[in-house]
Amino acid sequence: MTDNCDDGAVSNSALAATSFRIASINLFNFIAPPDAYYEFENIYSTEQWLGKLTWFSDFVAKAKPDIIGFQEVFSPDALKEWANKQGYPYFAVVGEPELVSDYVYKSPVVALASKYPITQVSAVVPQAHSCQQLGLPSTFSFSRAPLRATVNLPHFGECDCYVIHFKSKRNQLDTTVATDQTLSGAAEFVAQQVLGRWGASLQRGSEATLLYHAMLTRRFSCGHPFVLMGDFNDSIQSDLFSAFRQSSRIFRSDINDVALSQVSDTELQAQLQQFGLFDSYELFVAHQKANRTLAHDEYETHSQASQLMRPASHYFGNTGSVLDYILVSSEFNHAAMQNLAHITHYQTFDRHLVRPDYERDKNSTDHAPVMMTFELRGQV
């Protein structure tokens, strides 16, 4: 079953060198004093900053991830130093936060820390011709540049790890520019909200599609297994993320490649799976179900089944949403022909959100870290 983790502890006794853990953490304004995030008054005191570092140190010590993808990084140098002290000698980041004025920053970046060697690092950049195909300007750019870091894992080989933080749903139009000179007051406000939120949705959906296209190009050229992790700022079931959900319905009439159109159904499915993305949580649930006996499934109670519901990774008031995901390539899918590994565990570390303790959690994060564990084929 998936874990609503109380203390974040993970047993290490049953895990061998052929088992690996990958986590994604939104650090929630990770910025070292005396710098400030967004506004000049947003500066952590020394006590707050040390408390934030301690909280994440405790999490890492208990969860023991091998690879961590980070979002909301304002101080990459401080994060690199912290990660090295926690036993992650390999670190990758692309870009840097934007200096607004003096010591105030905006536009945080993403980063990755690893216990295993990082052999290549690159920012993912949209291809101009792909932008034009979507009706976007050739100069279209990601609101936050995705990171691709290639990690060399023992017995598994090189794996491309992507870290993303997609555009939020918030209206970010310039409200100083009039939406419509014929509107004012409440009407103008509503118009700004409608246009701003849809603009954010267009940005988020375009980013997802262009990122996936870049991932396909990389996959085709080098064939590496890959992992996509981060804060999606929306449900994976959103139509804006349809690029990440491979359809099981394939119409041969849609296939233009002659050689591909002539392969068997089984071979066609295998080839398409090579370029698919799979939710590691769903793979974990499917793998657990496959390991149960028919009798157990037949008499499974509703309460037992409900325990497999994925815990929320973010709350707005008392409403929870799953915004943080770890998606993987077909090598991690136990049902795929290219299978090299199995997802054996998936965890959402949400204690600080659902049962917070002020002294312990006051400097933590507004997201729940998520982590998946996989073992190489033949080890489970």
pLDDT band of residue 271 (cuts 50, 70, 90) is low
pLDDT of residue 243: 86
Report the SS3 class of residue 325.
Answer: strand
Which one-letter amino acid corresponds to residue 202? Answer: L
pLDDT of residue 9: 54
Which has the closest alpha carbon to 105: 128, 75, 132?
75
Tell me the pTM. Answer: 0.87
Residues of the chain above pLDDT 70, percent: 82
Output DSSP code: residue 167: P
Which has the closest alpha carbon to 25: 321, 316, 313?
313
pLDDT of residue 5: 54
Q: Which of 49-53, 174-178, 268-272, 291-295 has the highest mean pLDDT?
A: 49-53
Q: Is the dihedral of CA 247, 241, 26, 142 positive or negative?
A: positive
Which has the closest alpha carbon to 126: 215, 49, 52, 201?
215
Quick: pLDDT tens for 362-372.
999 999 999 99
Q: Which residues are within 8 A (CB) of 41 and not within 5 positions of it... i.e. 6 or more apart?
A: none
Q: Which residues are within 8 A (CB) of 293 and not within 5 positions of it... i.e. 6 or more apart?
A: none
Answer yes or no: is pLDDT of 195 > 60. Answer: yes
Give me 307's structure tokens: 């325990």
Answer yes or no: is pLDDT of 378 > 90. Answer: no
Which one-letter amino acid corresponds to residue 137? Answer: P
Answer yes or no: is pLDDT of 313 > 50. Answer: yes
Q: Where are the domains of the chain?
A: 3-376
Task: Name the phi and psi angles at 96, rounded to 5.
Answer: -150, 155
Answer yes or no: is pLDDT of 296 > 80. Answer: no
Compute the distance between CA of residue 286 and CA of residue 217 in angstroms, rounded to an integer.
Answer: 28
Which has the closest alpha carbon to 93: 78, 106, 104, 115?
78
Answer yes or no: is pLDDT of 178 > 70. Answer: no
Output DSSP code: residue 34: T
Mean pLDDT of the residues in the chain: 87
Fold classification of 3-376 (topology level):
Deoxyribonuclease I; Chain A (3.60.10)
Answer yes or no: is pLDDT of 191 > 70. Answer: yes
Answer yes or no: is pLDDT of 298 > 60. Answer: no
pLDDT band of residue 183 (cuts 50, 70, 90) is confident
What spatial distance separates the first Cα and last Cα of the chain, rounded to whole Å? 16
**CA–CA distance from 214 to each of 128, 156, 160, 277 (Å)?**
11, 23, 12, 13
**CA–CA distance from 79 to each of 56, 66, 115 (Å)?**
11, 16, 15
Quick: pLDDT tens for 32-76.
999 999 999 999 999 999 999 999 999 999 999 999 999 999 999
Answer yes or no: is pLDDT of 12 > 70. Answer: no
C-alpha angle 288-3-164 in degrees, rounded to nearest 5: 95
Residues of the chain above pLDDT 90, percent: 66
pLDDT band of residue 249 (cuts 50, 70, 90) is low
Which has the closest alpha carbon to 107: 119, 95, 98?
98
- Average pLDDT (280-303) is 70
